[in-house]
Structure 1
Amino acid sequence: MSIATCPECGDRFEMKSAVIEAEVIRLAHPDKHAGSASATEATQWLPQQQQARQ
């Protein structure tokens, strides 16, 4: 289990597994949100958080 922080609001939340993290990336992907800047930022931010925890 790991802790993540939302880049927009600063809320902290627990990520229970890499599977959940992968699902969040899939759900936030810009292709699903018409290339929005927020979706792009989230998709780039999540893997950075994974790397920072390793």
Structure 2
Amino acid sequence: MRTRRNGALLAGLVGVLAVGGLLVPQPQAQAHGGMTFPATRTYACYVDGRAGGGGET
């Protein structure tokens, strides 16, 4: 019976900690660039291809 009670207490503690972790405000993610500014290689090649840019020999 004691093991069952300990298991229930542990499960309750884990649940409280999980909910508490969700309620704590998280810092906003900061990125260093995006798809269009500054242009990634993929986006720059896409724009160049749409404009009929060279590259084909």
TM-score by length of 2: 0.30
- Higher Rg of the two aligned structures: 2
| Larger RCO: 1 or 2 (CA < 8 Å, sep 6+) | 1
Higher strand share: 1
